[in-house]
Amino acid sequence: MSNGSSSMHKTVEQPLTEDERKRLVDSMPLAPSPFRTRQFKLRLISTSVGVLVGVAILIAVKKVSAVVAIPAGLIVFAIWWLFDLKSRVLNPLRRYREANEHVWNFRNAVNAAKTVRVHRVQSDTVVQVGHDEGTICLFDIGENRTYWIDPYFMVPGRPPEDWPNRDFEVVEVPGWEEEVGPFSRGKKLRPRATLEFRDLFEHYDFEPPPDGIIPQSLDDFLRDAQARNRRTSGASTA
């Protein structure tokens, strides 16, 4: 059932202001160069140290002179990287280009948009449902309706710090399939409960509506999903 008149959902189509455009563009930053990441730097340093230690040992035991050991070490260093060039350089570079191509496509859609569709949600009650890739939030929005949102399948692909929130927005950009957000406007909301995906949908193949609005109260939807999941599980194992 609804937990108060403050719970609501409304959708408006409105002109895209320059401030809103900037907020949308900033929600998907360009991917950093793979050669500036901490992992790449650590791998480069560890390889270099390994070669230097090997050169120092050869010189210390006087098996070879520094004139021979240092060029040999540089050759070993180069061969080491060449043998693993695909995984260390080419694959990260390809993923970097693909990620930034996705970013530029998004920014082009935002810059071309004249209007956006904004979903405004206010709620005092939320239940979280954990799955392998993130956490779904089910908000009570009153009038026997529940709002389904999974930030991990939106832009930027993660929830804000103050999530879940009592008051937030989700934005649809013309020409872009993924929703953008959520953008928090209120205070953080403590979940009433945290459930596991398998307890509701492991055997019940539920497809959330495109607008995220489920025409059932939060409690009715959870009760119905658990019952359908149990029934389908029993039928499949009978």
Residues 125 and 139: beta-carbon distance below 8 Å: yes
129 vs 58, more confident = 129
Answer yes or no: is pLDDT of 237 > 50.
Answer: no
Predicted local confidence at residue 46, as pLDDT: 61
Instruction: For residues 91-102, give the mean pLDDT.
Output: 78
Predicted local confidence at residue 33, as pLDDT: 72
Give the chain's length: 238
**String of DSSP letters for 123-150:** -S-EEEEEETTEEEEEEE-STT-EEEE-
Cα gap 97→118, rounded to integer Å:
30
Predicted local confidence at residue 21, as pLDDT: 96
Cα gap 137→184, rounded to integer Å:
14
Average pLDDT taken over every residue of the chain: 82
14 vs 70, more confident = 14
237 vs 118, more confident = 118
Predicted local confidence at residue 72, as pLDDT: 59
DSSP 160: -
Paired with 168 in beta bridges are 121, 184
Answer yes or no: is pLDDT of 13 > 70.
Answer: yes
For the whole model, what pTM was predicted? Answer: 0.72
Predicted local confidence at residue 205, as pLDDT: 87
Q: Which two tokens stand for residue 235?
A: 């039928």
**Helices 66-83/38-60 angle, 10° precision:** 150
Predicted local confidence at residue 1, as pLDDT: 36
Answer yes or no: is pLDDT of 61 > 80.
Answer: no
Q: Which two tokens stand for residue 86?
A: 């695909």
Range in 1-5, 73-77, 111-115 the model is least confident about: 1-5
Span 34-54, pLDDT tens digits: 666 666 556 656 666 555 555
Residues 118 and 69: beta-carbon distance below 8 Å: no
Predicted local confidence at residue 39, as pLDDT: 65
Predicted local confidence at residue 24, as pLDDT: 96
Cα gap 204→179, rounded to integer Å:
25
Predicted local confidence at residue 47, as pLDDT: 61
The domains of the chain are located at 8-16+114-237, 34-111
97 vs 179, more confident = 179
Range in 89-98, 101-110, 139-148 the model is least confident about: 89-98
Predicted local confidence at residue 2, as pLDDT: 37
Predicted local confidence at residue 97, as pLDDT: 84
